[in-house]
Structure 1
Amino acid sequence: MTCTAPSCPRRTTRPDRRALLPALALLALLLAPTAQALKSDRQQPLRVNAQRFVAAQDQHITKLFGDVTLQQGSLRGVASRGTVYTDAKNKVTRVVLEGSPAQLSQQLDGGGEMRSTAATIDYSPATETAILIGAAHVDQPGRGSYSGARLVYNTNTGAMQGEGASGGQVHLIFQPHDKTATPTPAKPATVAPPAVQPVRTHSGGQH
């Protein structure tokens, strides 16, 4: 029999736990402690090198070919080719690195080095962000590693964002906390056995 009275409890539909996994993974990423990037990097000049280049000055675009490197302090990118975009004042606004894969690394304030790879790394000095696209992977010592179709790394704060391809998942691996030495359990107190009283024997016959 179907219950239609107002007093009848309503049946609630429980959310699919599998549908919540991507959201929970993203929430865990946002709540994880940030591995701070080396703050002095943003005060350093941006240097780009390559074996050869082709510049289109009217479009403020320079194409780079062969052993392309990007460096700003400890921030270092490596790729087989790249593109540099500048504004009307010849200030670099964007550097795109492409390779199989392109690589980006940076020293962290707390020690260690962030290492990342992707098919394309799009770096913006103004926003201090690097967008990694295509089989993107980032390792941050003391925090974990992240893989996805698109990852965004802040070169100033070390903060991360990510998403999977076409609704797919990102993958996060968090490192365990440092284990301290396990204290040696105290030995139970040794209880001495009760003293055994000597049995006296009488020599001779009974009295």
Structure 2
Amino acid sequence: MNHRLLSLSLCAALALALAPAAQAEKADRNKPMNIEADALRHDELQQTTVFTGHVVMTKGSIVLRGARLEVHQDADGYQSGIVTADAGKRAFFRQKRDTAPGGPDEFVEGEAERIEYDGRADVVRLIRRGELRRYRGATLSDELTGARIVYSNVTDVFTVEGGAPSQAAGPGGRVRAVIAPRETSPAPAAPVAAPAPALRPSSELGGSGK
């Protein structure tokens, strides 16, 4: 099956499954980037900083973890990062989603050999052995795997592409998805019939005599 058709079909299914439920934290792109690592190298001319060794980045509700993180800031102040993992491992991404008041917290998290965060477009890309999961509270709701997964924080649209068997998480380079049904409001209870009037007992057979 054509990978483009797979991507478009899955996009439509996810739009129905995810859009009414929640949206990503829109304020994350405006939050400062906080990073911990074993070492860093900064290039002032290129406005690029490279962090290495057990890297952990937080930006609002966004969390990125990996072996190496390259951070770039453009002329307009937008920050972008590329996280890569050690050989044979995968980097990690997590973000909270906006939910209705009183509802359970929702999170999107993913893993891939390379994760790209584009601050200007507010897009996350999971590249090579990508896996994306959505949680409602502590319950796993949806799960996607593929060679390349793109998640837009602005539009809440997911696209997933297959690839060669050596690149994709699923066998044969196919896209895989487990999508939970949308939660619906419970149907109103059927009205309860009024009880029949009780019969009054009588001690006389055939009524009163003349």
Are 1:47 and 2:34 matched, yes or no? yes
Q: 1:40 aligns to what SS in structure 2? A: helix
Identify the residue that residue 178 of structure 2 maps to in structure 1: 173
- In the aligned structure 2, how far is the partner of 1:90 from the partner of 1:26? 31
Alpha-carbon contact 1:42-1:156 (below 8 Å) kept: no
Count matched residues: 179
Q: 1:165 aligns to what SS in structure 2? A: coil
Are 1:75 and 2:69 matched, yes or no? no
Give 1:72 deviation, angstroms: 1.1
Q: Percent identity?
A: 26
What TM-score do you get using the length of structure 2 for normalisation?
A: 0.68
Q: Which of 20, 44, 65 is the matching residue for 1:57? A: 44
Alpha-carbon contact 2:40-2:50 (below 8 Å) kept: yes
Greater Cα radius of gyration, structure 1 or 2: 1
- In the aligned structure 2, how far is the partner of 1:117 from the partner of 1:127? 20
Identify the residue that residue 161 of structure 2 maps to in structure 1: 163
Give 1:30 deviation, angstroms: 4.4
Alpha-carbon contact 1:62-1:84 (below 8 Å) kept: yes
Q: 1:66 aligns to what SS in structure 2? A: strand
Are 1:33 and 2:35 matched, yes or no? no
Identify the residue that residue 80 of structure 2 maps to in structure 1: 94
Alpha-carbon contact 1:136-1:150 (below 8 Å) kept: yes
Alpha-carbon contact 2:135-2:142 (below 8 Å) kept: yes
- In the aligned structure 2, how far is the partner of 1:38 from the partner of 1:81? 25
Structure 2: where are the runs of 5+ without partners? 100-104, 165-171, 193-210
- In the aligned structure 1, how far is the partner of 2:23 from the partner of 2:146? 21
Structure 1: where are the runs of 5+ without partners? 1-17, 187-207
Identify the residue that residue 10 of structure 1 maps to in structure 2: none
- In the aligned structure 1, how far is the partner of 2:76 from the partner of 2:26? 25
- In the aligned structure 1, how far is the partner of 2:31 from the partner of 2:60? 5
Sort the Cα spacing of 1:90 and 1:54 in 2 relative to 1 into closer, same or farther, 3 A. Answer: farther
Q: 1:134 aligns to what SS in structure 2? A: strand
| RMSD, aligned α-carbons | 3.6
Alpha-carbon contact 1:60-1:90 (below 8 Å) kept: no
What TM-score do you get using the length of structure 1 for normalisation?
A: 0.68
Identify the residue that residue 113 of structure 2 maps to in structure 1: 119
Q: 1:175 aligns to what SS in structure 2? A: coil
Are 1:105 and 2:94 matched, yes or no? yes
Task: Output the amino acid matched with 1:86.
Answer: Q
Identify the residue that residue 149 of structure 2 maps to in structure 1: 151
Q: 1:108 aligns to what SS in structure 2? A: strand
Alpha-carbon contact 1:84-1:92 (below 8 Å) kept: no
Give 1:37 deviation, angstroms: 0.6
Task: Output the amino acid matched with 2:34.
Answer: R
Give 1:134 deviation, angstroms: 0.8
Deviations 1:22-51 (A, max 9, x none): 354444234443241112222311222211
